[in-house]
Chain A
């Protein structure tokens, strides 16, 4: 079993839809949870950063962490064609520092 599982998609939605992206993990020691967005031929860009459980909202983006279920989600409201990218979840425990464990990424396509 991989430490972090993420459905690769592709996920195709119409403009304006609500998008739900998810990751599951097996290591209960993970405390830090991040979502990155990666456009083609670019490096990953940090979207959301949360510690432990709970929700965090930033504009059209909401990150949720459910540690009891070992499940994290990223919701994108009012999706735009510019949101078309690969979304990567990443996580780490208290000891790992910058040695993040990444999911393989979900490719999202938003059509106008």
Chain B
């Protein structure tokens, strides 16, 4: 069974631009969660999507948004990029809504210059 797939693996953007990251969950998994990982803050929860609806949201500004499609694939968008948005963005999928046994992808490394 294929794991969680995230594209692209690496991105370099300029401050003020916007970026879209993509995530394909494990087949059959309907919940997709997004996390930000930085050396200073560690892993921090961004949001969870289930059945195309945002079910939970972390403490991040509105510049961070996401969506989920009918096939459970998800995208995350960050607008008006700031230098502090440089991080590893991880997508995780789980079977049901709120399922805590998360299966992570290998992430998208975003660098903002």
B106's partner among A42, A98, A100, A102 (CB-CB below 8 A) is A42
Q: Digit string of B19-55 for contact with A (CB within 8 Å is 1, else 0)?
A: 0000000000001010000000011110010000001
Q: Does B66 contact A (CB under 8 A)?
A: no
Interface residues of A in 72-111 (CB under 8 A from B): 88, 90, 92, 96-100, 102-105
The interface-forming segment of B67-75, B77-85, B97-105 is: B97-105
Interface residues of A in 24-81 (CB under 8 A from B): 32, 34, 36, 41-46, 49
A43 close to B48 (CB less than 8 A): no
The CA-CA distance from A42 to B44 in the complex, in Å, is: 17
B101's partner among A41, A43, A46 (CB-CB below 8 A) is A46
Interface residue count for A (Cβ, 8 Å)? 22
Tell me whether chain A's interface is mostly helix, strand or loop, or mixed.
loop
A100 close to B90 (CB less than 8 A): no
A100's partner among B4, B45, B55, B103 (CB-CB below 8 A) is B45
The CA-CA distance from A46 to B43 in the complex, in Å, is: 14
Chain A residues whose C-beta falls within 8 Å of the C-beta of B48 in the assembled complex: 97-99
Interface residues of B (CB under 8 A from A): 4, 31, 33, 42-45, 48, 55-56, 58, 90, 92, 94, 97-107
